[in-house]
Amino acid sequence: MADRFFSDDELREMGKRTVDRLTEAIDDGDGEKAKKIAKRMYNEFLGMHDLYRNWITATLSEVARRYGDEALDEVMVEGVRAWWKPIVESLPKDPESMPARIKMFAAGLQGHLQPLEVTEDDEKVEIKMCPCGSGGRLIMEGKYEGEDAFHTIEKPQPLTYGRPDYPIYCAHEYAMERVDIEENGRPFVVVEPAARLGRDYCSLIVYKDPDKIPEKYYERIGLKKP
């Protein structure tokens, strides 16, 4: 076939997983090639990460514009329940496992491909993504501006932690907390949104003793602390 684009070897190479190429380079002792492939793998995942990030934000925006905040709230909560509930259920349950639970949660946040700043005091562990790889970067990239802007929730409500003009993607944090409270009586993690979303960093906070989670985190989403 004189008009083929690729040789059989090129086609086989094209079909390989990038992680297999990376492993081969390491096994061959080719450090520079391994670094190049690692950067390629990062960019491949970031591209897919952002595609789905933009897709879900566009979908939620369409729900809000067509059906309003009440329907958005219901869709957000049930959509988040589908993935957040199994995550929390998969974490170790005994009180002594809290360090392992926090490490597993932090490992999951690595999927956003941004550096983490993790601090601890007597009461809690606080995690910041620097920057937030999803909601924060949407704002930084100007996705809520211009003709094709994603939706901003104007009215203060539990969905927005009582704040006006709230980016729609970021409202899934409320849904995570609500689902967790409904399923388990208290949230595993609570979020402190930055004063300047997209410019400062939000905090994800895990209290070592869940009974000591301040009441304000329940009240801001319209619930009472048990």
Q: State the residue range of the domain holding 169.
A: 68-219
* pLDDT at residue 95 in the model: 81
| 115 is a domain residue | yes
| 7 is a domain residue | no
Contact 156, 163 (CB under 8 A): yes
Give the β-pairing of 190-192 and 166-167. unpaired
Average pLDDT over residues 2-8: 90
- Total structural domains in the chain? 1
Kind and range of the H or E run holding 195: none
How does pLDDT run across 113-146, given as a tens digit for each residue? 999 999 999 999 999 999 999 999 999 999 999 9
| 137 is a domain residue | yes
Contact 139, 151 (CB under 8 A): no
* pLDDT at residue 86 in the model: 95
SS3 content of the chain, % helix, strand, coil (to 5): 55, 10, 30
For the cut 60, the answer to whether the pLDDT of residue 183 exceeds it is yes
How does pLDDT run across 50-81, given as a tens digit for each residue? 999 999 999 999 999 999 999 999 999 999 99
| 209 is a domain residue | yes
Rounded to two decimals, the pTM is 0.93
| 149 is a domain residue | yes
| 164 is a domain residue | yes
State the first-to-last Cα distance of the chain, in angstroms, to the nearest integer.
73
Using a pLDDT cut of 70, give the percent of the chain over it.
Answer: 99
| 32 is a domain residue | no
**Which of 110, 116, 113 shows the shortest CA–CA distance to 129?**
116
> Please, what's the b/e burial string for 150-187 (b: 16 or more CB within 10 A of its CB; e: otherwise)?
bbebeeebbbbbeeeebbbbbbbbbbbbbbbbeeeebb
| 1 is a domain residue | no
